A and B are shown apart, each in its own frame.
Chain A
């Protein structure tokens, strides 16, 4: 940034590049009318918060997956034809294996940089799915899924499901012993589905297990179908974010009707673009420094071998854990077999989880009876029941996850797989409700603390002795930022209980459903600590000012960062530009 004052007087002449760029813009505009879009877009404001970048991590790691995946397709051969390996990895030389596995070994050992790209592909795929999960946590706990963003939540759930499909189909392609074991389990799960399962498994695999078809079929799914769908859904997902504008956290000057942040050009563009390179760079660094899926150690796939410690990648781990801890129920009815031991953990439970996930926004909106648009995010503490439900779900997931690694945990910590399994069988039912209650109580306690801060200020730690000998601790008004954040809370009253028979003696036909709704609403909002009223704050402020006045002579110094905010006004400090407007004006002067 130039600091000379001449810039304003003599505008910088357009460089040749800019002139050329302008020419291109005009050329394109005359054909597609793009300047109308650019005009609106380049100044579009995006709020800034680190947690808003979790979705960006998912997007960028997906781009890295796509890039590295294209490279891999140039070398990988999706074929199950048996070949004799003759590459440079000696411990597998002369061994019969599928062409898929042999070509993956070639990528790993004989293509320069091939291993780097393979590891980059795998690591960034893991990052992609993890980032989706973390992004989903952020959206859930801040209530960003509320009206008008319900569709985008559902798109997100769809994307998460597709990401799992993409991951699992890719995990199976190298045709090493570990990936084949995963497929064998997948086949067992398909086969357990009543009536259609056996036929379904034969159709999917083209024969009995393992057959010779699944690699080429999975390949099409993995490189075309699933990524195509992900790309399509991601586009819609982003377009909706664009149209609806991003949500923002509460803060000074931030309302439900505005967006406060940085304009696309230049700040957001630089930050988002820069973050893409950072995510890309981290994926590359990790791919270069840390091994993932060393398929050469596992050997070629054969259906009669397995290694100890065979696990899926992290995102399937919870399902594997569920399969492990499920008791062995199986029914035999009229000559048919129903394998509850597989159906419940691997089909029914995930079905319920994903359905519940997709419908949660509608359920909460119905319980709340809320039809407003929400662009200002909830602080997790201000909706304790939702936060509790989220933590409960994460606890449930985490316990199943532990189940998925119980053998590694057993050998690492001198435990027995049997006792871990028994612990988990009980814990998946006991711990999530406890997690819910604890979280809800913590949230309510934080709400009380907020109320206290609003009414009585924060404790300064300065103890004052009054002339008549009394000791008091000075409380001071919280600063305007905190004030704005705390007062953003919107109190939702629980719905009243419905009447069974109204005053005219007409029976309420919807009594049952209304009563359920009222009960759920009570469950959500009855414990809420209501925000103090304006009058209460006013009264409390006078009291606070009184305390401060007592102390005033004692501290001539002033903490430079504390901006006092009695009665909602802002006190300015010397040395600080008065407002953003002045600051901006000052910059353009230079």
Chain B
């Protein structure tokens, strides 16, 4: 069983020292290539390789020409590709071909003109010779002895203690990666509060128009925000408030509302729900007005807005929080209370 591990039965002789570190495999028949036997073929290969390098240089010139000559906003129509940016295609093509040809030339050179004779090199044991191992062990023992690491018990223990404690400052300093806002609110407090309060006016997102109930027809959808969002955003220089306060307003026939999260939280069939998914926080506004389903495009959690925003499909575990709404004296839609539960993804302290 052991001596059939190589097909030919006699591997390269292991006691003849390899010249230059390797020796050709002695017992594999070798077929000369055309370029090995036919000088004309060899010259052809030589020309082939040289012309690839030559073409590469040519394409570099083309690249520079394209860089200077082509208007960066120009487009060009190429079949299959359609209308594409002329600059990008020209630069990418010329530079790509130039680089590719260097590689192709080198490989063609190696394949056709360099020796294709496989050679053999012996492997050496990775394990160190015994003398080396002994020397290492002796040095280690001597060092251990001379340092007294084993003898001075108290030094050893205090050193270990010091080594364990010294990274603590490095970790402690990471605390202020988040600089607590004034009043030191805990993360869970922040995640639980939004801009919405009793009387906050609901305005359209992006255009910030106040909304009257009659502005939303049955089947309508409005992406909305609290009226004070622009000022808050201006003052805080971030989008944090927006990320929590985004809501959608939908209107359905009141007869179609099966349940809500609180009595009378709708206004004449207009319902306000958080826009932030309770799974991992994607903003959702894929509202199907016929089925009243709200679908998250990220992980496809589906909520039924006609039934308290309950989850009917997908990975989200909690219903969409509903915002109670009414109208103010001027007839615009306002929030009647803050969100009753935290919006957005779950977190440990949420309860």
Q: Which residues does A use to contact B, with CB under 8 Å?
A: 1, 3, 40, 43-45, 48, 80, 82, 88, 109-110, 112-113, 115-116, 119-120, 148, 181, 184-185, 187-189, 191-199, 201-212, 243-245, 251-263, 266-267, 270-271, 273-289, 302-310, 320, 323-330, 332, 335-339, 341-342, 345, 373, 375, 406-407, 417-418, 421, 480-481, 483-485, 487-488, 491, 531, 533-534, 537, 563, 565, 568-570, 572-573, 576-584, 586-587
Contacts and interface: CB of A to CB of B under 8 A. Distances in A.
Contacts of A193: 348
Given A278-B104, A337-B347, A481-B7, A270 B300 contact: no
Q: Which of B8, B90, B191 is most buried by chain A, counting CB atoms within 10 A of its CB?
A: B8
B279 A253 contact: no
Contact of A572 (B29, B90, B181, B205): B29
Contact of B237 (A82, A275, A417, A570): A82
Interface string B1-15: 101111111011010
Given A323-B280, A324-B314, A303 B28 contact: no
Contact of A587 (B7, B28, B36, B90): B36
Given A184-B281, A306-B282, A280 B99 contact: yes
Contacts of B4: 487, 534, 537, 568
B284 interface: yes
Contacts of B301: 328
A209 B95 contact: no
B93 A262 contact: no
B245 to A, nearest CB: 8
A171 to B, nearest CB: 15
Contact of A1 (B11, B113, B284): B113
Interface string B34-75: 011001001000100000000000000000000100001100
B242 interface: yes
B294 to A, nearest CB: 12
Given A303-B239, A330-B318, A576-B29, A253 B174 contact: no
Given A485-B7, A576-B30, 20 more contacts: A115-B87, A116-B88, A120-B92, A189-B280, A191-B347, A203-B174, A260-B119, A281-B101, A303-B239, A306-B298, A307-B297, A309-B297, A337-B349, A341-B317, A345-B315, A406-B300, A481-B7, A573-B29, A576-B29, A579-B24
3 closest A-B pairs by beta carbon, nearest first, are A288-B92, A188-B280, A281-B100
Interface stretch (B120-128, B209-217, B250-258): B120-128
A579 B283 contact: no
Interface string B330-351: 0000000000000011111111
A397 to B, nearest CB: 18
Nearest to A45: B121
Interface of B: 1, 3-9, 11-12, 14, 20-32, 35-36, 39, 42, 46, 67, 72-73, 81, 85, 87-93, 95-107, 109-110, 113-123, 126, 174-175, 177-179, 181, 187-188, 190-191, 205, 223, 225, 237-240, 242-244, 246, 275-276, 279-286, 297-301, 311, 313-318, 344-351
B100 A277 contact: yes
Contacts of A267: 110, 114-116
B137 to A, nearest CB: 21
A274 B106 contact: yes
A97 B198 CA distance: 31
A322 to B, nearest CB: 9
